[in-house]
Structure 1
Amino acid sequence: MKKTLITTALLLAAGSSLGACSTLRGAAIGGAGGAGVAAVSGGDVEKGAAVGGVGGAVVGTVVDD
């Protein structure tokens, strides 16, 4: 239960802060969010950061245009 709440809070914070980001800021925020979620959920932090960074870069690019 506690992990779910923390994971949800991290996802909401990462998602809401991606609203006005460029590609690089989106990648940085996504990478940090992905690493945080992976750490809390017991996953691989490096893979979480990589996936979050790619997702953040895509969202940052799409939202910025």
Structure 2
Amino acid sequence: MTPLKMLAASVLILSLGACSGMDTTTQRTLSGGAIGSAGGAAIGALAGGSLVTGALIGGAAGAAVGYLTSDDDVRVGN
């Protein structure tokens, strides 16, 4: 494994562990922002626009939706 791949794997593993001490609202906000950024960048690329602009808009929208979602809205199968 190359040093760059080892570094990327280490960063991924350590960043996943960082979420353990967060409350559910913070976790939803961050995950919504990450999913929104990825989706916004993809839509920006497909539409021929800027990846950065799409990622920023999608990330902001995803974080807002994650923050505004209540615990009752997230309970699945209960």
**TM-score per shorter chain, which class?**
0.5 to 0.7
User: Following the alignment from structure 1 to structure 2, what is the Cα–Cα distance between the partners of residues 40 and 30?
Assistant: 15
Which residue is 1:22 aligned to? Answer: 28
Gap regions ≥5 residues in structure 2: 1-26, 72-78
Gap regions ≥5 residues in structure 1: 1-20
- The structure that has the greater radius of gyration is 2
RMSD (Å) for aligned C-alpha atoms: 1.4
> Percent identity of the aligned residues?
49
Is residue 48 of structure 1 aligned with residue 50 of structure 2? no
Structure-2 change in CA distance of 1:26 and 1:64 (3 Å) = farther
| TM-score, structure 1 as length reference | 0.65
**Runs in 1 of length 4+ with deviation above 3 angstroms?**
none
Q: Which amino acid aligns with 1:55?
A: A
| TM-score, structure 2 as length reference | 0.54
